[in-house]
Amino acid sequence: MTPALKPWPFMASTKAPQPLEHGAIPWLLAVALVTAAPHASHLPLWLTLFVGGALLWRSWLWRQQARLPARWLLMLVVFAGVAGIGWEFRTLFGRDAGVALIVFFMALKPMEMRTRRDSMVVVMLGFFLLLTHYFYLQSIPTGLWLLAATTLLTATLIRLYGGAQPLGAIVHYAGLLLAQALPFMLIIFLLFPRVTGPLWGLPQDAYSGLTGLSDRMSPGSLNKLIQSGAIAFRVQFAGELPPKSNLYWRGPVFDDYDGMTWRALPRGDRAGSPPVVEARGKTYSYVSTLEAHNQRWLLALDLPTRQPEGSVLARSLETLSREPVRSRARYAFTSAPDFIANRQESPALLQQALRLPPRLNPRSRELAASWRATFNSPQQISDAALRLFRQEAFFYTLQPPLLGEHAVDDFLFATRRGFCEHYASAYVVLMRAADIPARVVAGYQGGEINPIDGYLTVRQSDAHAWAEIWLADRGWVRVDPTAAVAPSRIEEGIEAALPADDPLPALVRIDTDWLRDLRNRWEAANNSWNQWVLGYNPQRQRELLSRLGLDEPDWRSMTSALAMLCAIALLFVTVWTFWQRTTTTPAQRAWQRFCTRIKRLGITRADWEGPLAFAARVAREQPQLAALCHEAASIFADLHYGNGTPEQLQQLKNCTRRLPSSWRHTS
């Protein structure tokens, strides 16, 4: 007979899974709630309700000490939930679907928690969920929430393995552990060699929520953007600022028009020799911190004479990066608001700038033809169009009436109400109908200086559209028809140009000094967070290390400094720990003497074991010592964690004297 094979030692289970203590379950439910709750804003409503209902049900089961659901029922719920997430997102992969799955499993795992091993799965899921919050938001409040959640997770681990203790003691211990890790975190953050890009790639749907200018413009598209108070970018000028009327931040250029929507031409249709820009007058150097918008344009001050490395000035005069801007980034520019661009232009591009859809807007074509017959130069025709906007009863509003098939005719001769995209679009159509090459440019106009940090803040509400015409002797010339209708829009900002009942973000309409000051301080703090924490890139790291005396640091010197400083920090933490152990209180010394005496009776207290948990174990292993040990543990808990009295200290010492001698102990 073949002898039976014995299992390898590592295959054999040496210890049965420890059951989960009833009092630890609320901590785990709090972990699930705190780590999953911030995702409610971008999860489907049904999933948010399910997660909330599951956690409430598990809380009720804990309170009633009822049985957990059967495994077959949980399996059915798992299959239904995964199918629902797949149907909702049309995939089980990617950022949104992946996060939804993790949140779903976090809500279900407490339904089968029976052992300490199960609870560790919840804790590890909680740590992983904290990382996913930064996929959506990287603000200061998010960082504070994650710090608080990390403290809760650490406290939960202490509760799981340290037994029942006062809440304050557990939180204090968790905070102490995190404080000991803080020096290492700072050293690694500052000195670990930075990489230019992220350490891992994100799926494409990670950028689906980014907002900003689009590569097309139709009536109402800029309206939605203008009603957002979100920051588009911040600018720090090296010297004085340009006049506000020159703050045109160039984005996409629209050449193609189908009668309703303007579109940017594909990049290949703009091929040709590089643009020729002649700066006239003063130039301005600045650094722009651009928020992620998932497009290639870098929103330079019109018009840049020096672009950042890795970007190019396109034929249509846009500054484009190689890849879409999918994370906050800093770019250095030099721009000349007074310029001459492309005196010699591509015939194909000029021909494109004259195209109009046939048989649309006949009244506008007729008006443009009359100007062409009356005036002798393109400049005079342009002045006539601006005079029309300036002298006729046109109104600037974000709530214009709907336009029909002949959109420009309806706007010019009927409604006469609109905002920048209406005026820019109508002007370009009139110019093209008069045989003047013209196009629409979208971007931002203006900005507001934050007096706290000196940065110019440009918001989505500063989104704007203007026009360009090509003149034979001057190249592309900027024309802003909105300035003819509402000059205050250019000089003072959009809030000064709109009626009081037009929708604008509350942040833009703030007119109270203390509220504006509060907003400025908060945004300056966020800017510092963005610049020095989220934006701590290789360039920022070199700047900081140069200030600290490490000129031209490479990865070898940085790694050496990192190792040396970590060793010093570890030495300080070790010395502090030993010093803390030597500076014990009288109550701790009395409790240590009690534990030393009871160790002679065969019961050893673990370093991590709390007094009450130790007393409970003594009661199980040596019932005859249960009352005395519980009395000593309770007195020590009052002395160490509460408001004990000197009399209690003497009682604790008496408990030690009342312990039997080892030779009298019988098991």
What's the rounded mean pLDDT across residues 23-46? 92
Per-residue burial over 383-396, b = 16 or more CB atoms within 10 Å of its CB, e = otherwise: bbbbebbeeeebeb
Burial (CB count <10 Å: 0-12, 13-18, 19+), residue 136: middle
d(CA 96, CA 110): 23
* Residue tagged active-site, from 39, 409, 410, 420: 420
Tokens of 511: 């007119």
Which residue, 127, 153, 179, sits at the end of a domain? 153
Q: Do 509 and 590 lie in a common domain? A: no
Whether 319 contacts 307, CB under 8 Å: yes
Same domain, 22 and 134: yes
Count CA atoms closer than 13 A to 3's CA, side-chain side. 3
Q: What is the pLDDT of residue 202?
A: 55
Residue 413's alpha-carbon distances to 405, 406, 410, 427, in angstroms, are 14, 11, 6, 13
Instruction: Tell me if residue 293 is catalytic.
Output: no
pTM over 0.75? The answer is no
Can you give the pLDDT at residue 379? 94
Q: Does the pLDDT value for residue 1 go beyond 50?
A: no
pLDDT attached to residue 381: 95
Among the residue ranges 196-200, 348-352, 510-514, the one predicted with the least confidence is 196-200
Is 264 inside a domain boundary? yes
Residue 667 binned pLDDT confidence (cut-offs 50, 70, 90): very low
User: Is the pLDDT at 353 greater than 90, yes or no?
Assistant: yes
Write down the H helix ranges in 37-139.
Answer: 45-64, 71-89, 95-108, 116-133
Looking at residue 235, its pLDDT comes to: 95
Helical packing angle, 420-433 and 378-391, nearest 10°:
140
- Average pLDDT in the 582-605 region? 84
Asked if residue 197 has pLDDT above 60, the reply is: no
Q: Return the minimum-mean-pLDDT range out of 68-82, 258-272, 433-447, 590-604.
A: 258-272
Q: Are strands 231-237 and 284-290 parallel, antiparallel or unpaired?
A: antiparallel
Residue 148 predicted with pLDDT over 50? yes
Q: Is residue 458 part of a domain?
A: yes
CB 439 within 8 A of CB 351: no
CA distance 571 to 579: 12
Whether 220 and 145 share a structural domain: no
pLDDT band (50, 70, 90) for residue 581: low
Q: Which residue is it, tokens 């919840």?
A: 122
Read off the pLDDT band of 494 (50, 70, 90): confident
What is the structure's pLDDT at 542?
78
The answer to which of 5-14, 164-173, 423-432 has the lowest mean pLDDT is 5-14
> Which position has the higher pLDDT, 16 or 240?
240
Q: Are strands 417-418 and 395-396 parallel, antiparallel or unpaired?
A: parallel
Is the residue at 537 inside a domain? Answer: no
**Which among 39, 133, 422, 464 is annotated as catalytic?**
464
Whole-number Å distance between alpha carbons of 401 and 414: 10
pLDDT average, residue stretch 619-629: 90
Whether residues 148 and 230 fall in one domain: no
More confident residue, 498 or 203: 498
Ordered alpha helix ranges (H), 192-236: 221-226
- The mean per-residue pLDDT over the stretch 196-224 comes to 66
Please name the amino acid found at residue 326. Answer: R
* Last-in-domain residue among 133, 153, 173: 153
Task: Tell me whether residue 133 is one of the annotated catalytic residues.
Answer: no
8 has pLDDT over 50: no
566 is catalytic: no
Quick one: average pLDDT of 129-139? 86
- 42/565 Cα distance (integer angstroms): 41
pLDDT at 122 over 80: yes
Average pLDDT over residues 78-102: 91
- pLDDT (mean) for 324-344: 90
Tokens encoding 119 = 């609870």
Same domain for 590 and 486, yes or no, is no
Q: Strand pairing of 262-263 and 311-313?
A: unpaired
Domain stop point among 513, 539, 571: 513
pLDDT for res 15: 59
- Shared domain for 148 and 220, answered yes or no, is no
Based on its alpha-carbon atoms, the radius of gyration of the chain, rounded to whole angstroms, reads 35
390 and 484 co-located in one domain: yes
Q: Is the bond preceding residue 303 a cis peptide, omega within 30 degrees?
A: yes
Task: Quote the pLDDT of residue 517.
Answer: 86
User: Is it the case that residue 272 has pLDDT exceeding 90?
Assistant: no
Domain-located, residue 193: no
Burial of 424 (0-12, 13-18, 19+ CB in 10 A): buried
Helix and strand numbers, DSSP H then E, in the chain: 23, 20
Q: How confident is the model at residue 663 (pLDDT cuts 50, 70, 90)?
A: very low
pLDDT in tens, 382-393: 999 999 999 999
Confidence of residue 500 (pLDDT cuts 50, 70, 90): low
Does 265 have pLDDT greater than 90?
Answer: no
The answer to whether the beta carbons of residues 178 and 148 sit under 8 Å apart is no
Burial environment of residue 440 by CB neighbours within 10 A (0 to 12, 13 to 18, 19 or more)? buried
Residue 508 lies in a domain: yes
Note whether 453 and 594 are same-domain residues.
no
Cα separation of the two ends of the chain? 45
Query: Per residue in 435-477, pLDDT tens?
Result: 999 999 999 999 999 999 999 999 988 999 999 999 988 999 9
**What does the pLDDT read at residue 574?**
78
The verdict on 249 and 353 lying in the same domain is yes
What integer pLDDT is reported at residue 3 of this predicted model? Answer: 45
Pairwise CA distance, residues 259 & 360, whole Å: 7
In this predicted model, which residue has the larger pLDDT, 1 or 134? 134
In a domain, 426, yes or no: yes
HSE on the CB side for 224, CA within 13 Å? Answer: 9
Query: Is it the case that residue 228 has pLDDT exceeding 50?
Result: yes
In this prediction, residue 445 carries a pLDDT of 93
Separation between Cα atoms, residue 638 and residue 644, nearest integer Å? 5
Question: What is the Cα 367 distance to its own chain's centre?
Answer: 50
Place of tokens 């000035």: 313
For the chain, percent of residues with pLDDT exceeding 70: 90
Same domain membership, residue 429 and residue 330: yes
Q: Which domain holds residue 126?
A: 15-153
In a domain, 435, yes or no: yes
Is pLDDT above 50 for 666? no
**Omega before residue 178 within 30° of 0, cis:** no
Residue 369 has pLDDT above 70, yes or no: yes
Q: Give the count of domains, the chain.
A: 3
Side chain identity at residue 278, one-letter code = E
Do residues 26 and 147 both lie within one domain?
A: yes
pLDDT at residue 35 tops 90 = yes
Contact in structure between 189 and 203 (CB atoms under 8 Å): no
- The average confidence (pLDDT) of the chain is 85
Residue-level pLDDT at 583:
63
In a domain, 307, yes or no: yes
pLDDT exceeds cutoff 70 at 161: yes
Q: Which of 302, 409, 462, 480 is catalytic?
A: 480
pLDDT at 538 over 70: yes
- By the 10 Å C-beta count (0-12 exposed, 13-18 middle, 19+ buried), 565 is classed as middle
pLDDT digit string (tens) for 413-446?
A: 999 998 899 999 999 999 999 999 999 999 999 9
Res. 206 pLDDT band, cuts 50 70 90: low
The verdict on 402 and 273 lying in the same domain is yes
The top-scoring range by mean pLDDT among 193-202, 300-309, 492-501 is: 300-309
